[in-house]
Amino acid sequence: MRRAGAAAIFLLVIAGAAILSIGVAAQEGILTLRVEPNVVEVAPGASASGRIVLRNESLREADDVEFAWTGATGIALATTPQSVSVVGAFASSTVAFTLVAAPTVAIGDVRGSLEVLYTYCIDELCFQIAETVPVDVRVAATPQTPSATALGETDGFQPASPDVGAWRWWVLAVTVLFVLVAAALGRSRRIRTATALALVVAGVAVLVLGVRLDQHTQAQAVGAVLCTSCVGIETVEVQAPRLSTAQAAAVDRLSKPVELLVFYATWCRSCPYAEAMVDLVATRNPLVSYRLVNAETERGLAAEHGVTRAGRTVVPAIVRVDTGKVLFGAEKLGDRLVGLIEEGM
């Protein structure tokens, strides 16, 4: 009986370690990214073009690929690059972008980055991946035109971001090796307990390392929660929230208390803007009160207030408690939010 119990515990520990290892490997990005040319040259006050090459290295398709520019003061995108609906299994896609340099930008080398956001699904479970690709920019008085070779007509494919996924597979391989060695050692009665304990420690270590590595890809399960900007329903608002003169006057005229619920998800890119806009209104008029609600942990409350549609909770969502009216998304939120609190006044 003791041997059977010890064997059962031993098998459970092995299974747990294997599951943790597979979990670490599952939430990694499936796209390899490259920016062309390697250095984008632009003159002050002028513009220059480049492109980002997306290569899908998996059997699954990447959906709703979107882009955003960060960093490099004095350098900006002329327009937001066109989103890509689908990058199929083992397929590639190329997206052009145009950078604009401010007239006052200093001559020299600067580095910006393109943030690439997309989703992919494994059966019913979907993951949101956010990866950052460095973009080297050279501000020159007389920039050179990139050659065909510089624009990617080469045989090699050098990704512009570190291959963090490789570390995941190393973690998986080491853990599997550890399990095999432990299984062999487990036949010895004397070291069976020590081996089981070591496997538990290994499993915890794998989980911790997986969480740390996941900070790079920011993979998030979005099967039950739908972010409006993450799937291309609307673009992400990057401007600081503000009220127009007419909107501010309408908020000032409010004479009755209004309570709002703001449903959000920690990984939702539109939610911070919605939260900030509601906070701006509430700060201007104390009659407006609000509470932030995590849609992932308060799904019952989301369903109760009509935020869940077709089995998925949509964020960001702002609910006026007394009327039950719901605002979804953050696009043109100023007018919609003022209209929401004005109703019945």
Residue 156, pLDDT score: 39
Whether the predicted pLDDT of 39 surpasses 70:
yes
Contact (Cβ atoms closer than 8 angstroms) between residue 214 and residue 197? no
In this prediction, residues 214-233 reach a mean pLDDT of 50
Q: How far apart are the first and last CA of the chain?
A: 75
> How many of the other CB atoms lie within 10 Å of CB of 276?
16
In this prediction, residues 33-48 reach a mean pLDDT of 92
Q: What pairing do the DSSP bridges indicate for beta strands 125-139 and 39-42?
A: parallel
- CA 8 to chain CA centroid, nearest Å: 40
Residue 277, pLDDT score: 94
pTM of the shown model: 0.45
From 74-88, 146-160, 314-328, the region with the lowest mean pLDDT: 146-160
- Residue found under tokens 């703001």: 262
Residue 35, pLDDT score: 93
Whether the predicted pLDDT of 3 surpasses 70:
no
245-342 to CATH, choices 3.30.70.100, 3.40.630.30, 3.40.50.300, 3.40.30.10:
3.40.30.10
pLDDT (tens digit per residue) in 237-291: 667 889 999 999 999 999 999 999 999 988 788 889 999 999 999 999 999 999 9
What kind of fold does domain 31-161 have according to CATH?
Immunoglobulin-like (2.60.40)
Give the DSSP H/E element, type plus range, for residue 125: strand 125-139
Structure tokens at 343: 């109703």
DSSP state of 72: -
Residue 38: which of 163, 154, 105, 137 has the closest Cα? 137
Residue 275, pLDDT score: 94
Residue 57, pLDDT score: 81
From 73-77, 92-96, 214-218, 324-328, the region with the lowest mean pLDDT: 214-218
Structure tokens at 307: 């935020």
Whether the predicted pLDDT of 85 surpasses 80:
yes
Residue 253, pLDDT score: 94
CA distances from 45 to 53, 102, 103, 310 (A): 26, 5, 4, 49
Contact (Cβ atoms closer than 8 angstroms) between residue 270 and residue 236? yes
The residues spanned by each domain of the chain are 2-26+167-221, 31-161, 245-342
Whether the predicted pLDDT of 147 surpasses 50:
no
pLDDT (tens digit per residue) in 164-201: 444 444 555 555 566 566 556 555 555 556 555 555 55
Residue percentage of the chain with pLDDT more than 90: 32
Residue percentage of the chain with pLDDT more than 70: 63
